């Protein structure tokens, strides 16, 4: 239980409507952190203690600055559907492509610096950096550009490989232990929970600042 002297950890989350976003919200709330989900639809998440929603635009540095102001850490899931942005030409349910991801990271870096926030977790298809010879060339180029942008900025960043996931998992799946899961969900829940736990632990320990990490084994037994 928190007391008056316990510092409040405020986590801004881009990508809350994804399965990993749900796992992260559940884990952060379990640790009594405050979670601010940046969404286009502020009613998309049911109210619960410790969870707030704010509007924003991931591709505009000034909007990023406004959205993350006052937070402790920012987590952005670059491969998540429903990331907040203002565009009449792109469906907001789609996952941003490699070019859009680079633009988003540029806006994040500028926005966080403007708001005086230093800790950033970027989750994306960065496993292409581990196996560049067989990677999609456009995705690899984007990942390399993102890594270079991070390395040349003053933020305390960590790049995290996005885990495989079953779409459609909600915070309820991660908040309640159930023995009646649909076939195949158990493994995905466990995998996503490990990644969420790894990110939450890293927020506290800061063992991998300025590094590219994978919180899930490449092959599960």
51-54/73-77 β-pairing: unpaired
Domain count, the chain: 1
Does any domain span residue 5?
A: no
Domain extent at residue 175: 10-213
Nearest to 82 by CA among 113, 114, 45: 45
Does any domain span residue 221?
A: no
Average pLDDT value for the chain: 89
Does any domain span residue 169?
A: yes
Give the side-chain half-sphere CA count within 13 A for 217: 5
pTM of the complete model: 0.92
Lowest mean pLDDT across 50-59, 91-100, 125-134, 148-157: 91-100
pLDDT band at 221 (very low <50, low <70, confident <90, very high): very low
Q: Say if residue 212's pLDDT is above 90.
A: yes
Give me the CATH number covering residue 141.
3.40.50.720
Fill in the DSSP letter of residue 202. Answer: H
pLDDT band at 132 (very low <50, low <70, confident <90, very high): confident
Q: What is the pLDDT of residues 13-70, one digit of tens each?
A: 999 999 999 999 999 999 999 999 999 888 999 999 999 999 999 999 999 999 999 9
pLDDT of residue 179: 53
Nearest to 199 by CA among 118, 122, 127: 122
Does any domain span residue 220?
A: no
Does any domain span residue 219?
A: no
> Cα–Cα distance between 74 and 59 in angstroms, integer?
15
Q: Name the CA dihedral angle for 144, 138, 22, 18, rounded to a multiple of 10 degrees.
A: 160
pLDDT of residue 27: 97
% of the chain residues with pLDDT over 90: 71
Does any domain span residue 1?
A: no
Does any domain span residue 180?
A: yes
Q: What is the pLDDT of residues 81-124, one digit of tens each?
A: 888 887 654 556 578 899 999 999 999 999 999 999 999 999 99
């Amino acid at each position: 239980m928190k007391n008056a002297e316990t510092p409040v950890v405020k986590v801004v989350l881009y990508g809350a409507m994804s399965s990993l976003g749900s796992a992260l919200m559940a884990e952060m709330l379990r640790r009594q952190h405050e979670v601010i989900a940046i969404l286009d639809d502020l009613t998309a998440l049911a109210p619960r203690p410790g969870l707030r929603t704010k509007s924003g635009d991931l591709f505009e540095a000034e909007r990023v600055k406004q959205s993350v102001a006052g937070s402790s850490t920012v987590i952005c899931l670059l491969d998540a559907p429903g990331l907040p942005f203002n565009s009449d030409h792109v469906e907001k349910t789609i996952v941003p492509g490699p070019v859009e991801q680079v633009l988003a990271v540029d806006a994040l870096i500028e926005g966080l610096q403007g708001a005086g926030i230093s800790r950033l977790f970027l989750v994306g298809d960065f496993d292409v950096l581990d196996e560049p010879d067989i990677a999609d060339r456009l995705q690899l180029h984007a990942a390399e550009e993102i890594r270079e942008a991070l390395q040349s900025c003053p933020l305390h960043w960590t790049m995290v490989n996005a885990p495989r996931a079953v779409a459609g998992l909600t915070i309820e799946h991660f908040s309640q232990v159930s023995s009646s899961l649909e076939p195949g969900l158990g493994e995905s829940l466990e995998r996503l929970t490990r990644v969420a736990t790894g990110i939450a632990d890293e927020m506290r320990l800061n063992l991998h600042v300025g590094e590219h990490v994978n919180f899930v084994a490449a092959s599960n037994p």
